[in-house]
Structure 1
């Protein structure tokens, strides 16, 4: 709720409104109201789920500003009526797709064109579309389900019968859950696991494909095969979820390849409920979720942020000794002690207010595979980092770390390493033979041993370098050193070009 109001305040005032200056709920509402009283405004509040939420938000808007406009969106009739009655507004009901557009969307996902729909499936496809009631999400979900089945009348009839009259009885959220259940239970086990993991992301997040796949790998969801690397298998799993319509593309590159995605909030709500039901992920923070009276063994713990006046997450009734993943979302003020999480495989503390002393116990997490410290304020990495022999993925971007400890070259399983451009590497990079990704390395500050050893990384697939094209120097000795460094990096790049390198920036 506070996040919504902060967003409104920052948008209408054109000034960022940070958590540190937030104040109480009443103070935020008062600030918005004071500002809007003197202004004409046009505000859109998207996707309100309950009347209580609107009752708080509406207090921020002056009732006397007749020249201003507010638009709210919701799926619930009682919320819509409450919004309208507050400011003498009117309800605009978005119409469902007509049969022509429904057919176009449905056939477009299953066939090359309408004409390619076999005659023996035309009648049953019409019956399926009638049950979808023109709801685009329902059509996408059902067509994604059918796309992975044989195009036979019997199988399509089974799907039609499974849909039943769920949407006719309840065309809102509960009806969609019936449709989504069909898609979920049709997934093979490995895709169910990958889908449930999406519950750790916040609503409306834009999620990068690479980051998600690397998390899947670290969690142990993907096992390598002879034909594919683990990352290539992860891409296959990602594309299957995409083709089934369970995730939606957000950004693509110039070749049409999806680089990031989002999860429709109705689908995310379904995924979260399934995840909680199966004790796949334990979500704490805002909103507070009921844990139950019995002791609960936690396998994956996701802290999604807490309110300013209550910065400590309550873990009473939770058994934390078995936690394998700890993911801390933005907004959490109290960093949990890592002493309780000795068996962690995945640790994501990105954008948390971390300081160097918070990392002291990290070197005792011997099973750790994934460590994300992006956007934290740490300036020094622990000298004993080389003890984390299982570590596969390490992200130090947007930190203040300027030099990596010598022991980092002992991370023989490290596959993906992301650093700031001003980070200096120690000697011995050639020992890190598992490296597949190395980004962003400034060549001019690296030792000579690093530049030579880079060419010996036979498994390196993605490399991003920063090269200074001009070095100002008045001494001949410095120019000679620069020339030797240039020769070393050129030699290494030539070697990498004959090996597994796929991307060089």
Structure 2
């Protein structure tokens, strides 16, 4: 039943969200399998019927070992149809299904069924106390609250989702008997055909209704996203600001207040955090299935928002204020929607828009749609605050964009836009301008960034907090110091002559958190010695030759730095010492950045480093790691280091290492790691050891663990 921990169990191994529609499910499985191997997906896959999809999938899986997880399957016919394609090829393949439906579990007659039962009473009590009293040092219940605490815990019937949800809610309540008794009395079960599900829903409903109004609006907003959708942290924060859910508080910006709201919802278990291995920070969030069901129902009942899906019959209401369009083959806004404030499209197929009646629209989110140009009527959206064209086919922005004077967020990342119109300089309320232009490099791990051309006057947008990535020109470099509210700055095509002016401008950005600076040419000198680093700087990427191959002297003093990326720096052998003592550095990437043959990591170097990358080190032939160095390293990736033909010496000392990756590395190194190889035992403690090699324009993966 819901909340017992099925999804949590399988996601601890691997997560692959699915759609319950069989044809869409098969199509999605094929795309994921081809993507994982870097194969080219069949061009006509979206036109294939069920029979051709089965044939394609069976052909692809022949002689391969695979693991596929189908999470939260409700119907028996889904497995009946899909199992035809997922045949047993005697290669040790596995399919894992989670379901709340006993019939689904019973149809796989040769399967092993693991029934997750509710927790035993003592286990449930331990989990309850761990959450309800998480602020207490011992995480134990106080005697004066134990009576009501045990009565509340018993109502959860051993269901982990209910226990964690109500426990986190109680952790925020006063430590008074009256407050806890009120919570107990409010948890009155209603009659239901599935009483266990109703009990979880009752607790979750209570948790949602207990939210302050500002958190409630933010949570209900999350019902706009498709099931299992991973919501990016910064996008969520900016959307909440654009929707008007957030107000500035004291000296904190609206974005900082929204981040606090996000953390509160995670703390109350309303949102689930997904940890990435980028710098071991939380970047994405999801909504639990049951929570999503409840907030969708509340959103509809309160006319907060609606989701238009192919599974839902009928058109959306003319009075809808926020609308999400998902999984649609085609959709045309033919009816007037004068109340619409927010429109989100999650359908990648061609999409038709009519803005004639959408004068109140504040948010237009067209990520991943196949739209190729913005309609002229866009200029009539006078109230627009948020416009995202990320991953679209749009090539240019209209000059009239400057008439959208309320616009606060413009995102064209991964689109085909290569320059900005001069009208952009009229958007005095613009806070975030994300215009990175990417192109693929020769590595499967990296994409290189091209800065966009920006018009003169961009420096007059004094409310800008994010500007990335733009191509430098002289007029802009000299006047960047106007942008004192800047939090994230990305600038490319910098010349040596411009570096002094750039250093002066950056030094005045006292609240800067992230900085990217790339030179115009690979051999161009990056002269930033005069820079006085902003005190809050956490992420830094530098691309270009450093004078005498030495890091700027100020770099070792940036104590808040957690991520550092160096490219084409020309570093010498003794350059890493100043970085090794940075107290908070968690991520380090060196890309064509080191000219020496040997790298020696001494004891106590990089005490918090978790992710380490080496890419395209032309001369590097030896890495040595002493016993007490890199003590927290979790991931080590080696890419295109052609002279490195042996494992890093002392790699067996990295007891916390979880992932060792090779990309386009010498066969001499890889051969020693294959079965029977002389170095295989040295990596036996590492759970994931993988190699990627390009063969015939395809990425081939080899597991070495």
- TM category (shorter chain) comes to 0.7 to 0.9
1:8 offset after TM fit, Å?
2.7
Q: Deviations over 1:48-98 (max 9, x none)?
A: 0233433443443459989764332101223323x33xx443532013222
Q: 2:340 aligns with which of 319, 323, 345?
A: 323
Q: 2:120 aligns with which of 85, 98, 106?
A: 98
Q: 1:304 aligns with which of 326, 330, 338?
A: 326
Q: Deviations over 1:211-250 (max 9, x none)?
A: 1011011111112233432112212211221111111221
Change (3 A) 1:312 1:122: same
Aligned: 1:44 with 2:69: yes
Alpha-carbon separation, structure 1, partners of 2:163 and 2:265: 16
Q: Deviations over 1:127-161 (max 9, x none)?
A: 22222122111011101221221122222222223
Paired residue secondary structure (1:260): strand
1:360 offset after TM fit, Å?
2.8
By percentage of residues, which structure has more helix?
1
Corresponding position of 1:207? 231
Aligned: 1:404 with 2:420: yes
Alpha-carbon separation, structure 2, partners of 1:36 and 1:258: 34
By percentage of residues, which structure has more strand?
2
Corresponding position of 1:389? 405
Query: Is contact 2:451–2:493 with CA below 8 Å preserved after alignment?
Result: no
Alpha-carbon separation, structure 1, partners of 2:192 and 2:131: 24
Aligned: 1:9 with 2:22: no
Aligned: 1:429 with 2:450: no
Alpha-carbon separation, structure 2, partners of 1:177 and 1:16: 44
Corresponding position of 1:277? 301
Q: Note the residue ranges of structure 1 that are not aligned, 5 or more in a row.
A: 472-481
TM-score scaled to structure 2, two decimals? 0.62
Q: Deviations over 1:429-458 (max 9, x none)?
A: 23211111112234xxx2211111211112
TM alignment of 1:152-163, pairs within 5 A: 152-163=176-187
Alpha-carbon separation, structure 2, partners of 1:338 and 1:425: 28
Aligned: 1:486 with 2:499: yes
TM alignment of 1:175-254, pairs within 5 A: 175-251=199-275
Alpha-carbon separation, structure 2, partners of 1:275 and 1:263: 15
Aligned: 1:462 with 2:480: no
Q: 2:479 aligns with which of 427, 441, 453?
A: 453
Change (3 A) 1:455 1:99: same
Q: Deviations over 1:166-187 (max 9, x none)?
A: 6998454333211111111111
Give the stretch that moved more between structures: 263-272 or 137-146: 263-272
Paired residue secondary structure (2:130): helix
Give the stretch that moved more between structures: 322-331 or 191-200: 322-331
Q: Deviations over 1:15-58 (max 9, x none)?
A: 46468522223432343355557766554322102334334434
Change (3 A) 1:415 1:110: same
Change (3 A) 1:355 1:156: same
Aligned: 1:89 with 2:114: no
Corresponding position of 2:470? 441
TM alignment of 1:75-154, pairs within 5 A: 75-81=100-106, 83-84=107-108, 87-111=109-133, 112-114=136-138, 116-154=140-178
Q: Deviations over 1:83-123 (max 9, x none)?
A: 33xx4435320132223332232222232355642112223
Aligned: 1:53 with 2:78: yes
Query: Is contact 1:302–1:326 with CA below 8 Å preserved after alignment?
Result: yes
Corresponding position of 1:478? none
Give the stretch that moved more between structures: 167-176 or 19-28: 167-176
Query: Is contact 2:320–2:339 with CA below 8 Å preserved after alignment?
Result: yes
Q: Deviations over 1:298-353 (max 9, x none)?
A: 211111122xxxx323768x641221111110333323233342321100111211
Give the stretch that moved more between structures: 415-424 or 94-103: 94-103
> How many equivalent residue pairs?
478
Alpha-carbon separation, structure 2, partners of 1:105 and 1:467: 54
Alpha-carbon separation, structure 2, partners of 1:389 and 1:122: 57
Corresponding position of 1:361? 377
TM alignment of 1:326-341, pairs within 5 A: 326-341=343-358
Change (3 A) 1:91 1:407: same
Query: Is contact 1:75–1:172 with CA below 8 Å preserved after alignment?
Result: no
Give the stretch that moved more between structures: 274-283 or 383-392: 274-283
Query: Is contact 1:110–1:143 with CA below 8 Å preserved after alignment?
Result: yes
Q: Deviations over 1:395-446 (max 9, x none)?
A: 111122222111211100000111123201111123211111112234xxx2
TM-score scaled to structure 1, two decimals? 0.85
Change (3 A) 1:150 1:290: farther
Change (3 A) 1:162 1:326: same
Alpha-carbon separation, structure 2, partners of 1:172 and 1:27: 41
Corresponding position of 2:614? none
Corresponding position of 1:474? none
Q: Deviations over 1:274-310 (max 9, x none)?
A: 1122221121123225558xx641211111122xxxx
Alpha-carbon separation, structure 1, partners of 2:431 and 2:158: 46
Paired residue secondary structure (2:509): helix
Query: Is contact 1:253–1:259 with CA below 8 Å preserved after alignment?
Result: no
